[in-house]
């Protein structure tokens, strides 16, 4: 990991593309200098890249006038981590529209769920595939462009990612799943019955709150628990 000082750098000559066309500006928030340079290098051919080594440094740049089209952030950082940065960004009307991609070595499903609840737009596990990262970024930027091009009467500022009521429901749901993972009869049908919902309603609820289907959600939780048990035995 890098030092605890707050620095921001920009890839030299990345401000303009071919024939003087301006490139979308991305902000990379990563406290490991080598990884920060590596990610910036991947992006610099298509994008203007600014970088910060923690969440607080990133916010200072935004407050000073930096307007990134998209932010890529590490999860675990000193001073201000990725969760705290995400909460600040999604809680501010001036920045909540900026897509945020979380890049992290933490594969635990609970970490992903927490980021999804706050409102992260995408989540990639390190080591990541360079081409996949570029495609995900391109798709997010296209989505933003499409929203901006929509008729004004349909344009609405997104509200908070998850309401307090939704968060309580999701915490109860996660708690129930964790407590009953060893039950071989635990299924989408059983969960829908337990929470007095139809399977289709459960699907819509989980998709809205986590981006995952009930089947995928159960798979993620079980894989996370299996990894935890293996790590404890090591």
The predicted pLDDT at position 162 comes to: 61
Average pLDDT, stretch 32-54? Answer: 95
The predicted pLDDT at position 14 comes to: 37
Q: Which residue from 216, 184, 210, 180 is spatially nearest to 195, judged by alpha carbons?
A: 180
pLDDT tens by residue, 54-80: 999 999 999 999 999 999 999 999 999
The predicted pLDDT at position 161 comes to: 54
Task: Considering only residues 201 and 162, tell me which one the structure prediction assigns the higher pLDDT.
Answer: 201
CA-based max dimension of the chain: 62
The predicted pLDDT at position 215 comes to: 86
- Cα–Cα distances (Å) from 176 to 115, 190, 197, in that order, read 20, 11, 15
pLDDT greater than 80 at residue 154:
no
Task: Considering only residues 18 and 141, tell me which one the structure prediction assigns the higher pLDDT.
Answer: 141
In DSSP notation, 50-96 reads EEESSHHHHHHHHHTT---SEEEEESS-SSS-HHHHHHHHHTSTTTT
- Cα–Cα distances (Å) from 220 to 59, 96, 106, 108, 207, in that order, read 32, 27, 13, 8, 14
The predicted pLDDT at position 234 comes to: 59
- Cα–Cα distances (Å) from 7 to 33, 57, 58, 134, in that order, read 11, 7, 9, 25
- Classified as helix, coil or strand, 24 is coil
Domains within the chain, CATH numbers bracketed: 8-154 (3.40.50.2300), 164-233 (1.10.10.60)
Comparing 51-60, 63-72, 106-115, 126-135, the range with the smallest average pLDDT is 106-115
> Which tokens sit at 227?
């990894």
pLDDT greater than 80 at residue 2:
no
Q: Which residue from 39, 55, 195 is spatially nearest to 124, judged by alpha carbons?
A: 39
pLDDT tens by residue, 160-186: 456 778 888 888 898 898 888 888 888
- Classified as helix, coil or strand, 131 is helix
């Amino acid at each position: 990991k890098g030092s605890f000082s707050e620095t921001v750098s920009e890839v030299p000559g990345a401000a303009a593309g071919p024939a003087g066309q301006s490139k979308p500006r991305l902000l990379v928030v990563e406290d490991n200098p080598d990884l920060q340079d590596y990610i910036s290098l991947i992006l610099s051919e298509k994008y203007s890249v600014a970088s910060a080594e923690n969440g607080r440094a990133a916010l200072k740049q935004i407050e000073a006038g930096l307007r990134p089209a998209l932010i890529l952030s590490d999860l675990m950082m000193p001073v201000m981590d990725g969760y705290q940065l995400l909460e600040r960004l999604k809680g501010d009307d001036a920045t909540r529209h900026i897509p945020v991609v979380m890049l992290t070595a933490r594969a635990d499903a609970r970490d992903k769920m927490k980021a999804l609840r706050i409102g992260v737009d995408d989540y990639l596990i390190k080591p990541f595939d360079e081409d996949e990262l570029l495609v995900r970024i391109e798709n997010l930027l296209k989505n933003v462009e499409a929203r901006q091009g929509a008729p004004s009467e349909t344009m609405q500022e997104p509200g908070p990612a998850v309401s307090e009521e939704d968060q309580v429901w999701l915490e109860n749901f996660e708690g129930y799943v964790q407590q009953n993972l060893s039950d071989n009869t635990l299924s989408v049908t059983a969960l829908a019955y337990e929470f007095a919902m139809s399977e289709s309603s459960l699907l819509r609820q989980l998709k809205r709150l986590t981006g995952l289907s009930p089947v995928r959600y159960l798979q993620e939780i079980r894989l996370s628990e299996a990894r935890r048990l293996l790590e404890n035995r090591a």
